[in-house]
Structure 1
Amino acid sequence: MRVLLNVNGRSQYSAEIRPEFQNSACGPTTAHVILTYLCQKNDAVLTHDINELYTLLGGTKIGLFKWRMIRNLRKLLGENWCVEECTLTQAIEQLREGNPVAMRFDVYFSGQFLSKHKPLYNYHWVPLIGYEIKDSELYLTIHDNGGRNRDSQVRSFKYDDNRKVLNFIKVAPKQR
Structure 2
Amino acid sequence: MKILLDVQGKSQYDTDINESFRPSACGPVTARVLMDYIITQDPYTYDVNELYKLLGSTKIGLFKYRYIQNMRRILSTGWIVAECEIDEVIKQIKEGRPVAAKFDKWFTFRWRGQYEFNYHWVPIIGFELVDKEVQLIIHDNGGRNRESRIRHISYNKNKSILSFVKIEPIG
1:130 maps to what in 2?
126
- CA offset at residue 171 of structure 1? 0.9
1:83 maps to what in 2?
81
- CA offset at residue 137 of structure 1? 1.6
TM-score, with normalisation over the residues of structure 1?
0.95
Counterpart CA distance in 1 for 2:67 and 2:161 is 17
1:5 aligns with 2:5: yes
Decide which of 92, 100, 103 is 2:101's aligned counterpart: 103
1:171 aligns with 2:171: no
* Aligned residue runs from structure 1 range 1-176, under 5 A: 1-40=1-40, 43-113=41-111, 115=112, 117-175=113-171
TM-score, with normalisation over the residues of structure 2?
0.97
Query: Which amino acid in structure 1 is aligned with residue 98 of structure 2?
Result: P
Q: Which ranges of 4 or more aligned residues in structure 1 deviate by more than 6 Å?
A: none
Q: How many pairs were matched up?
A: 171
- CA offset at residue 60 of structure 1? 0.2
Residue 46 of structure 2 aligns to a residue whose secondary structure is coil
Q: Calculate the aligned-residue CA RMSD, in Å.
A: 0.9
Residue 35 of structure 1 aligns to a residue whose secondary structure is helix
Identical-residue share of aligned pairs (%): 49
Structure 2 segments unaligned to the other structure (5+ residues): none
Counterpart CA distance in 2 for 1:59 and 1:147 is 18
Structure 1 segments unaligned to the other structure (5+ residues): none
- CA offset at residue 82 of structure 1? 0.4
Counterpart CA distance in 1 for 2:79 and 2:133 is 32
Q: Is residue 56–residue 70 contact of structure 2 (8 Å, CA) maintained in 1?
A: yes
Residue 39 of structure 2 aligns to a residue whose secondary structure is helix
Residue 49 of structure 2 aligns to a residue whose secondary structure is helix
Counterpart CA distance in 2 for 1:153 and 1:45 is 27
Q: Is residue 122–residue 140 contact of structure 2 (8 Å, CA) maintained in 1?
A: yes
Superimposed CA distance per residue, residues 31-67 of structure 1 (whole angstroms, 9 cap, x where no aligned partner): 0000011123xx3343100000000000100000000
